[in-house]
Amino acid sequence: MTQRIGFPFYCLIQRLHIPRLLLLFVTYQPVICSLLQPCPEGSANLLHLFSNKSNQEQGYCEAEARLASSLDFWTISSENLIAVLPIDPVKGNYVRKVKNCIFSIALPTPFKSRIHLVAVSKSRVLRFILKLSYKEGVNEEVLEDILDLDLSVSETEDFIQLVSGEKIVSGSIPLAHRYGGHQFGMWADQLGDGRAHLIGVYMNRHGEKWELQLKGSGKTPYSRNGDGRAVLRSSVREFLCSEAMHHLGIPTSRAASLVVSDDEVWRDQFYNGNTVKERGAVVLRIAKSWFRIGSLEILAHYGELDLLRTLLDFVIREHFPSVDVKEPDRYVGFFSIVVSKTAQLIALWMSVGFAHGVCNTDNFSLLSITIDYGPFGFMEAYNPDFVPNTSDDERRYKIGNQANIGMFNLNKLLQAINPLLDPGQKQLTAQILEGYPALYYRRFRELFKAKLGLLGETEGDDDLIAFLLHLMEETEADFTMTFRQLSEITQSQLQELSIPQQFWALKMISKHKLFPVWVSQYLLRLKSNMNDSDSKRRERMTIANPRRTC
């Protein structure tokens, strides 16, 4: 029987307010560029300047060089994928059942009307607009720091054609990925990239490989009854949220650009039978890998075990450096890491109030990053039953159930790899899965203790967190602002129960009859923080607790 996770920790952040802010992302300002290292195929072919003989001998350069200012010498390649993973022998781009392969070759379908660049990822601007707290190590910009492109490139026609799917650059073989999955708990059989094209892999100056994927770029063999398009409304949401999640310190795919056309796309936005005309859009999104649990499930389901082993070994070799692909227990090691990182990811979601909305196995990354932003949402009033997906009638993916869904999905992953395991390995992986709840609770506890500014360990920490969440739920207090205002208010103000008007979320909770009891317990716990001060506490909590958007 699957162990359910009933720990009463269900929390979230602010809702993203999207209108009119997108245009601010397109900023064209001078860029101070660092020197680029020599890059192989699928990279930027850039000139290296050496300032002195010593630098030449050390193999690096201290002189400044410019990022690629055009796409002329900037290349991506599909070779890394298709050299190992088989391609569908059928070349036609029509909907069909696909077998014994990982990818189908499928060209994007260009828009018929004019195309506009709406946004490129300019992280410093994004962070300012969303008022996100700075998280160390997550401030890189997609175009400059990941794709080695100067922002001026986004002004060129070549760039517009690339990110809209109109132009196929040298080295690119557009691919649609075949995968299956469990949707809302039921096996859905073949799914696949129905409106996405993986246009290649880029290796940047840091030696990192990034897979570039266009979303909304037209039909593929996996489109089923869809038109292969995305609309501006959903594309804006994905662009903003994936970048916001990154700057909140949460593993995620990234968004590089967003273009919109005048092509008409019809959508039933509220699933009520009323379709409306919207504008077609394409997001260029990137990730270290787009393989997901469903990538393995489809192979196991159809008994393609040799291909399952090939794909697993490829994923381990490329993305799990701590696992030796030559070791017989490599799949056990792989599974252990995925279980641990999935538990951490969902705990991070909860700490910022993120509800994915569609936690199907085809939307769960093998690298444990957040992918496939659909009907996601950020909870405002604290409510563990919050559901952002209006089509989720049974509330399967409510925010309070995400940890349980994580375990369900990991169990499906285990079932997929089981045919490759011997009896001893099956026992080990089953034990690893049983440890998932403890891993989740441990990380959740760490995150919420940080949100409350607690240092060290005391026996009552879990109760203190749960007590506050109970008060928030009963008063319908804003989750994000409650924690943010706790990071700004002084201990003396709390002790006197003198809540200034600007701390409106705390004033809402203070109406609860048990609020003074919680405050007393909280202040007593803060006294146990060794070598701490109120100013240090507030500084720590400010970093851990984002601000509301305007």
Catalytic annotation, residues: 362
Neighbours of 139 (CB within 10 A): 13
Q: How far is CA 219 from CA 93, 401, 430, in A?
A: 8, 33, 39
Phi-psi region of 131 (alpha: psi -120 to 50; beta: other; left: phi over 0): left
- Using DSSP's 3-state secondary structure scheme, residue 68 falls into strand
Residue type, 50: F
Terminal alpha carbon distance of the chain: 45
Q: How many CA atoms lie within 13 A of 246 on its CB side?
A: 27
Q: How far is CA 37 from CA 58, 60, 62, 171, 489, in A?
A: 12, 7, 11, 20, 47
Across the chain, which distance is largest between two alpha carbons, in Å?
74
User: If you write DSSP's letter for every residue of 186-234 in order, what string do you get?
Assistant: EE------SSEEEEEEEE-TTS-EEEEEEESB---TT-TT--SBEEHHH
Helices (H) and strands (E) counted in the chain, each on its own, are: 17, 12
- Closest C-alpha among 400, 411, 392 to residue 349: 400
- Closest C-alpha among 185, 186, 413, 176 to residue 297: 413
Per-residue DSSP letter, 22: G
Neighbours of 220 (CB within 10 A): 30
- Cα gap 248→544, rounded to integer Å: 9
Those residues with Cβ within 8 angstroms of residue 387's Cβ, 6 or more apart along the chain or in another chain: 355, 357, 377, 395, 397, 398, 399
- Cα gap 365→343, rounded to integer Å: 12
- Closest C-alpha among 61, 347, 104 to residue 219: 104
Per-residue DSSP letter, 273: S
Q: How far is CA 445 from CA 8, 269, 379, 452, 537, in A?
A: 11, 37, 19, 11, 17
- Closest C-alpha among 191, 222, 211 to residue 297: 191
Q: Which two tokens stand for residue 523?
A: 């202040």
Query: Are 148 and 44 within 8 A, CB to CB?
Result: yes
Residue type, 15: R
- Cα gap 52→62, rounded to integer Å: 9
**Phi first, then psi: what are they for 258, rounded to 5°?**
-140, 125
- Using DSSP's 3-state secondary structure scheme, residue 286 falls into strand
- Cα gap 64→477, rounded to integer Å: 51
